[in-house]
Amino acid sequence: QQKVQQSPESLIVPEGGMASLNCTFSDRNSQYFWWYRQHSGEGPKALMSIFSNGDKKEGRFTAHLNKASLYVSLHIKDSQPSDSALYFCAVSPGTGSNRLTFGKGTKFSLIP
C-alpha cells in the first residue's frame, strides 16, 4: 500500500519569506503528484500538479519532482498571509486515476 510522508509537520516563516515543504512516497510506479491546500474551515483545493521529473513553476509556487528518489517538494516564495494553510501532498497510482493517497499534511503559518 502506498505510503506518503510529509515533513515538516509545521512550518512558520515571516511574511515575504521562503518555505520548503517535503514529501516522499513509497510506490515506484506512481505517476502523478499533487499539492492541495486547505484553509481553516474549508475543503482541500488543488494548488498544483507535477508529472515529469524536474521543476514546475506557477507564480510564487514551484514544485519539484524526482521519481528515482521517490521525492516531491513544494517551494513557496514571497509568502503572503493567504498562504497560511494546511498543505497536503497527494500521489496518484497512474494514468487516468484520481484515486489519491494523501500525506498527513504540513501546517504552514506566517509570523504575525
Partner 1 sequence: EAAVTQSPRNKVAVTGGKVTLSCNQTNNHNNMYWYRQDTGHGLRLIHYSYGAGSTEKGDIPDGYKASRPSQENFSLILELATPSQTSVYFCASGDLGGGTLYFGAGTRLSVL
Map the footprint of partner 1 across residues 17-46, applying CB under 8 A. Answer: 32, 34, 36, 41-46
Name the segment binding partner 1 (CB under 8 A); options: 20-28, 53-61, 64-72, 102-110. 102-110
In DSSP notation, 62-93 reads EEEEETTTTEEEEEE-S--GGG-EEEEEEEE-
Q: Is residue 83 within 8 Å of 77, Cβ to Cβ?
A: no
Q: Which of 25, 33, 35, 88 binds partner 1 (CB under 8 A)?
A: 88
Q: Which residues bind partner 1 (CB under 8 A)?
A: 1, 6, 32, 34, 36, 41-46, 49, 88, 92, 95-105
